[in-house]
Amino acid sequence: MKKILMLVTGVAVCVLANAVTKPETASREKLRVGVYADVGARGSVLAYSRLAALSPDCEAKFIDGASVRAGALSGVDVLLMSGGSSVDISVSLGDEGRVALERFIREGGGYLGSCAGALLMMETAKYKGLGIIPYTRVEAPPRGGGTINTIWADCARDLAGIEPGIHTTTYHRGPVMTPCEGHPRLGDFTVMARFGCNILTMRLDPDCPSMGGYASCIAGKYGKGKVWVFSDHPEVNPHSMELVVGGIRYLTGRTIRFVRDQKKPGQLVVGCPTSFSPGVEGATFAMELVKDSDFHVRGGGFASSSADAVVICDSPDASRLKKLAAPVGVRDLKRFLERGGHVVAWGRGAKCVSGMVKDGDGLHFVKGPAEAMETLRALRKRPLPPVPAPTFGAALPRREGAVRTGFLLGPGSSGSCLFRLLRTIASSPNYDVRFLLGSDVASGALADVDLFVVPGGWSQTQMKSLGPVGCSNLVNWVRGGGAYYGTCAGAYLVGQSTTERTYIGLTPYRPQVCPYRGNSKDVQCALTDDGRKALGLSEKKFTTLYWGGPVFEPTPETALPDSDIRTFATYASQNVYSFNTNTVPAMGGRAAIVGGTIGKGRILTIATHPEYLAGSRHVVRAGLKYLTGKSAEGNLNPHVRGGLALGFYCADFSTREVGELAVKLMGLPGVDLEDVSSHKLQDGSLDHLDAVVLPVPGKDSCSFLKLFVSRGGKVYACCRTKKQRDAVKAFPAGSVVICGDESALVKVLEKHVK
């Protein structure tokens, strides 16, 4: 009832605001957009800068605390404030800068902030808020991060040109905003949007209210100026940038154009880490690269698999630079240099990098931005390297003595998860790959494999695909000496049944019965002593991707008589997504990885998705070695400057032919291959790709790719039927290459990269 009242109240406020606020007539002059780029502002600085610098309607200006104190805000119409730390932003502004910012808004300026930028405007002393917005933060333990739904009110259309209803964005520990009841300026502000779901706190807190129904976007007048703040991060995804454009329209009366920066053939791909503030100098340099046709700029650092070079600028954010030099960062940097990557650094950035590695052919320590630009141009002009010989071939059944690895595909198996697991395994000379449908398992196909891998997806659909005979065959095969690896749905599948779901019951663990938890990118797992010993890992914790996987409770009374199954890792956080409540059973301390022996066989189930993140894939390899005794290490084909950045559409990963096509493309030198899911197509987040492979073209997938094609992207489609050929007619002539089957498609791509 409380949430309903909050939603109704928000709509009522919107109606009132709509009566008094109308967008002004657009000026012919460019909108002067300031982007704050000092200590505390990080993560979204690149996104906001790209919006302002590429739009033909804007003039981008980069501002730091010193320039605010010196009066620089008089030269901008609207200031964009990134997420990060409101406390650090407040410190970088200083008392004088805080006063100048308040005066700028009061005297007619526009302010748009996300996450920490929202906290800076609120009534909260703890987070150094200016008290401009009569809202405060609902105090709670830190919440996690993930994809969320926000519900926009009807007035958003008239006030900001934003369609009311549900919009999907990204959330990461932003403030849950609640009004300061009785505040004299409360009526000057409008709740534009509210959370339509909940991100749980990292620690279980039954008294912490759900986010659902609380404000996610607030806008209003302050003196002669206006303020617009997000708790979430719509700026980080191209598909939700319209919400930022709407905010600028509300603040200034101007509708600016958002221009996408699609990768073009021959560009040097440059990575710019977003974990620390670039400062004014670094942000200005990054935008010079963005606007230069020789370069394609991506967020991200050394872990990026497709960057040719990474720039580490003279950041004023010394404490965050230190985190870049953590052991994981050092490992990623060494791997980046080993595969031929280049690092261009100056100032404090150079000092940080030189402390991480002593030397390397790809290190370029320069004196400043001008020399950095010269270095990158020289790298760009180097002759393209020849396409190297493949470091691995198509790992299909052919190697004597290799572990015969079967993957369950078809109904219930996630194509993206399959793709990531395949990429982790296929490069190893110790493993062969083959693909099995549920009907194959029911027909006895497990007799020809040593290891059976069941990916994430939907366990109940997988179980239906296997059928009673297939499930029985799986149990007997494991007890007879088979090795089973299951992740997420594959972990659910072999657990104990609940009152709501039926599972196979190989392991003495039962998943909790609770609302669907959903996805989060920063769940931590803690290895037990048994887990470290079995997997051969020394670390106590690792970070991994969670996406609705099981939270296991032990049920020792259900253990099979010939089994020894133990907890190898537990959840070390409560950081997950839920639709409506915070009062669900705790994750912390519950089983996340379960493994052991059953009869003559072995089993390992992982509730999370370590195959998705570069920093956790070693857990997959350790698990495979535990199950089979053979190393899963291998050498993926290295990134090649000028190579083909290729997306592989995984939603139709349902046949052996599609699986074998994926493996063959993974073995193709000169190609950076990555999975493309349905939501990536719908979001349009393909700016960094040259082309996309459609193994099974359909009306929806072709429709979603129209935007990508319109910006210069290419499509390679495997069309076996008239229906598929008709679907690709949606693309303009010359933008699609039609192949009759998978072999023909591979031959076309081989010619392209050569």
Give per-residue pLDDT as tens, 288-299. 999 999 999 988
* E strands in 424-540: 431-436, 451-454, 483-487, 509-511, 519-527
Distance CA 673, CA 671 (A): 6
**Number of structural domains the chain divides into:** 4
Q: Minimum mean pLDDT among 391-405, 562-576, 667-681: which range?
A: 391-405
Q: Taking 60 as the threshold, does the pLDDT of residue 681 lie above it?
A: yes
Give per-residue pLDDT as tens, 105-124. 999 999 999 999 999 999 98
Give per-residue pLDDT as tens, 30-65. 999 999 999 999 988 999 999 999 999 999 999 999
* Sign, Cα dihedral of 604, 607, 611, 616: negative
Q: Which two tokens stand for residue 41?
A: 């502002």
Last residue of a domain, one of 571, 601, 628: 628
Note if the pTM is more than 0.85. Answer: yes
Asked if 97 and 143 sit in the same domain, the reply is yes
Asked if 653 and 736 sit in the same domain, the reply is yes
Residue 592 within a domain:
yes
Using CA atoms, how far residue 155 sits from 193, 235, 452, in Å, is 10, 21, 54
Q: Taking 60 as the threshold, does the pLDDT of residue 25 lie above it?
A: no
Asked if 614 and 590 sit in the same domain, the reply is yes
Q: Taking 50 as the threshold, does the pLDDT of residue 23 lie above it?
A: no
Give per-residue pLDDT as tens, 722-747. 999 999 998 998 899 999 989 999 89
Give per-residue pLDDT as tens, 193-241. 999 888 877 776 767 778 888 999 999 999 999 999 999 999 988 889 9
The residues, ordered by sequence, that sit 6+ positions from 529 with a Cβ below 8 Å of its Cβ are none
Give per-residue pLDDT as tens, 621-655. 999 999 999 999 877 777 888 888 999 999 888 89
Distance CA 640, CA 475 (A): 45
* Sign, Cα dihedral of 142, 144, 150, 155: positive
| CATH number of the domain to which 736 belongs | 3.40.50.10550
Distance CA 145, CA 547 (A): 12
Asked if 119 and 197 sit in the same domain, the reply is yes
Q: Which two tokens stand for residue 638?
A: 């290295």
- Half-sphere exposure of residue 246, counting CA atoms within 13 Å on the CB side? 25
Residue 719 within a domain:
yes
Asked if 293 and 242 sit in the same domain, the reply is no
Distance CA 104, CA 99 (A): 9
Asked if 335 and 217 sit in the same domain, the reply is no
Asked if 686 and 591 sit in the same domain, the reply is no
Asked if 32 and 177 sit in the same domain, the reply is yes
Asked if 350 and 411 sit in the same domain, the reply is no
Asked if 62 and 177 sit in the same domain, the reply is yes
Asked if 462 and 586 sit in the same domain, the reply is yes
Q: What is the pLDDT of residue 223?
A: 96
Q: Which two tokens stand for residue 201?
A: 């706190």
Q: Amino acid identity of 428?
A: S
- CB 492 within 8 Å of CB 456: no
| CATH number of the domain to which 364 belongs | 3.40.50.880
Q: Residue 115 sits in which domain range?
A: 2-252
